[in-house]
Amino acid sequence: RSAEDAESLIRRISGALEAESRSGALPFAVTMSAGCALFSSADQVTMDDVLNRADRSMYEVKRRARGDEEKGL
């Protein structure tokens, strides 16, 4: 699978959660933060490496989103 596949899946899940949250059907708001880390079987990485990469990815997405909000996007 590719980074585009992962990003597409994250957008679909996030969109579904956002739509449900905006529908008013839940007595609380639902938000989501996600990051992804891609690696191949040839990469010699530990699970900690994978989780750290995904965590950094998530915080980068959050940082960009905050920048967009500050710009009014």
Query: What confidence tens digit (pLDDT) does each residue in 11-45 have?
Result: 899 899 888 888 888 888 888 888 888 888 888 99
Mean pLDDT computed over every residue of the chain:
85
CB-CB contact of 62 with 56 (8 Å): no
> What is the predicted pLDDT for the residue at 13?
93
% residues pLDDT > 70 (the chain): 90
> What is the predicted pLDDT for the residue at 18?
87
> Would you say the pTM of this structure is higher than 0.75?
no
| Residue 49 token pair | 């490496």
Question: What residues have CB less than 8 Å from 33, skipping those under 6 apart?
Answer: 58, 61, 62
